[in-house]
Amino acid sequence: MSPIQDQDHRPLLLEGPSLGLRLAILAAAAVALMVADHQQQYIGVVRGWLSAAVYPVHWIVDAPGSAWRAASETLTTRRGLTEENDRLKAENREIRLRLLRFDSLEQENQRLREARAGSARVAERSLVAEILRVDLDPYRQRVLVNKGSREDVFVGQAALDATGVFGQVMRVGPVSAEIIMISDPDHAIPVQINRTGVRTIAVGQGQAGNLMLPYLPRNADIVEGDLVVSSGLGGVFPPGYPVAKVGEVRRDPSEPLLSVSAAPLAQLDRDPEVLLVWFDNRVMEPDDEASAGQSLQVDPHAATLEGVPVPDTAAAEPAPELPADPTTPAAGN
C-alpha cells in the first residue's frame, strides 16, 4: 500500500484515547451543554464569554457595510445635505408642536398618577444600539446589536424604534446582545387595541411584516386599521407604545375566535439601529392597586392592572387579572 495509507493507520493523535471513545466524550459534552443551555440558568456566563469570543467575526462581517455607510455619509453632496436639513427642520417643527401638547399632557398624567399613588411607567433612559449586518438563523427573527452588558443592557429589556415596538433582548454578551423581534414565531407581546382598550396578545409569525392576534373572541370589537399598542402587562414593554396596525379581520362563524392579522409598525427588516429603553417596570401589585382603589374610591375605571385607563367595555368584561381579594371591594367593579 502507499505510504500515505500506512500513515493513516496510526491513531489520529499519537497519544490519547481511541477515536470512538473521543466521539463518545465529545458527544456527551455537547449533550450536557445543550441541556444546561436549555435550562438557561446555568451557563449564562459561558454564553457571555462565547459571544464575546465570536464577536470579532461578527464585527469583521459587519465592517464592509458600516465602512460603506460611513463613506457614503462623508461623501454626500452639499445639495443632498441641504435637502435633508430642510426635511429635518420641517419634521422638527411638527414634532415640537406636538411636544408642546405632550408636555402638558405628561404633567397632567403625572398628577393623576400621584393622586392614585401609581407609578408612571414611561421610558426613562434609552440607548441607541446599532444592528450588525449579519445573518443569524434565517428561520427566526433575531438580530444582533453592538451593545451589551458593559452598557447595562439586560435580558428582557425592551427595544423600540422610532415608529414602534421592535422586540426584546434575549441574550446579552459583554459587547453584544441578541434581540428577538416581535415577529419571531417564539415571541408574543401583550397588547391592547387603542380604540377600545381590549387587551390581547400579539404573536409573531416568522415574517417581518406579520403578527397574529389569535385570542380575540368572535364578538370582539376590532376593525381593519385599528392601532394596537403595548399594554404593559408582563412588565417587559412600557405601556402605550404602538406595536402594529390591524390588517385583515376574518370572522369565521364556525370558529369561536377571530383570525386577526396585524402589520408591525416598527421597521423590523429595515432598521439600522434600535433604541433600548429602561423604564420603571414595577408591575403594580394587587396590594398597590387595592390601596389605590381604597384611597380613591371615586374613580370606577382606575383599577386595571397596568394602570392604563380603559373605557367601560374593557373594565366591565370579566378580567382574570383583577385582584380576587375579598378585601378590595372597590377595585373597579
Partner 1 sequence: MARRPVRNWPVLVLLLAVSLAATVVPLPDWLEPLRPNFVALTVLWLCLLSIRTTGLLMAWGSGLAIDALHGMLLGQNALALVVIAYIALKMRLRIRAFPILHQSAVIFGLLLLNEFILFWIDGIAGFPVTTWARWLPVLTGAACWPLMTGLYSRLAIRA
| Binding residue (CB under 8 A) for partner 1 from 53, 99, 100, 115 | 53
Does 185 participate in binding partner 1 (rule CB under 8 A)? yes
- Give the number of residues in contact with partner 1, rule: CB under 8 A: 50
Tell me which stretch binds partner 1 (CB under 8 A): 43-51, 83-91, 121-129, 298-306. 43-51
| Binding residue (CB under 8 A) for partner 1 from 33, 117, 162, 223 | 33
Per-position x/- string for 86-105, each x denoting binding to partner 1 as judged by CB under 8 A, each - no binding: --------------------
Tell me which stretch binds partner 1 (CB under 8 A): 26-34, 93-101, 280-288, 317-325. 26-34
Tell me which stretch binds partner 1 (CB under 8 A): 8-16, 189-197, 234-242, 295-303. 8-16
Nearest to 187 by CA among 204, 172, 199: 204
Strand, helix or coil for residue 291: helix
Does 7 participate in binding partner 1 (rule CB under 8 A)? yes
Rounded CA separation 143/184 (Å)? 11
Q: Are 167 and 187 in contact (CB under 8 A)?
A: yes
Tell whether the torsion through CA atoms of 297, 301, 307 and 308 is positive or negative. Answer: negative
CB count in 10 Å sphere of residue 185: 13
Q: What is the secondary structure of 74-103 as a DSSP string? A: HT--HHHHHHHHHHHHHHHHHHHHHHHHHH
| Binding residue (CB under 8 A) for partner 1 from 10, 79, 125, 270 | 10
| Binding residue (CB under 8 A) for partner 1 from 113, 120, 127, 142 | 142
Q: Which is nearer to partner 1, 126 or 205 (CB)?
A: 205
Q: Are 281 and 230 in contact (CB under 8 A)?
A: no
- The CA-based diameter of the chain, rounded to the nearest angstrom, is 97
Q: Which is nearer to partner 1, 11 or 329 (CB)?
A: 11
Q: Which is nearer to partner 1, 33 or 117 (CB)?
A: 33
Does 58 participate in binding partner 1 (rule CB under 8 A)? yes
Does 45 participate in binding partner 1 (rule CB under 8 A)? no
Residue carrying the nine cell digits 421597521: 267
| Binding residue (CB under 8 A) for partner 1 from 3, 13, 78, 219 | 13
| Binding residue (CB under 8 A) for partner 1 from 23, 81, 95, 97 | 23
Q: Which helix (H) or strand (E) holds 59?
A: helix 44-74
Residue carrying the nine cell digits 464569554: 49
Amino acid code (one letter) for 41: Q
In whole angstroms, how close is the CB of 206 to partner 1 at the nearest point? 9
Q: Which is nearer to partner 1, 133 or 245 (CB)?
A: 133
In whole angstroms, how close is the CB of 49 to partner 1 at the nearest point? 9
Q: Which is nearer to partner 1, 17 or 80 (CB)?
A: 17
* Strand stretches in the chain, DSSP E: 123-130, 142-145, 158-161, 164-172, 177-181, 188-193, 199-204, 211-212, 227-230, 242-250, 259-264, 273-279
Nearest to 112 by CA among 320, 298, 323, 328: 298
Q: Which is nearer to partner 1, 2 or 104 (CB)?
A: 2
In whole angstroms, how close is the CB of 269 to partner 1 at the nearest point? 9
Beta-carbon contacts of 64 under 8 Å, excluding residues fewer than 6 positions away, are: none
List of residues contacting partner 1 (CB under 8 A): 4-5, 7-8, 10, 12-14, 19-20, 22-23, 26-27, 29-34, 36-38, 43, 46-47, 50-51, 53-54, 57-58, 60-61, 65, 133-140, 142, 144, 170-171, 178, 185-186
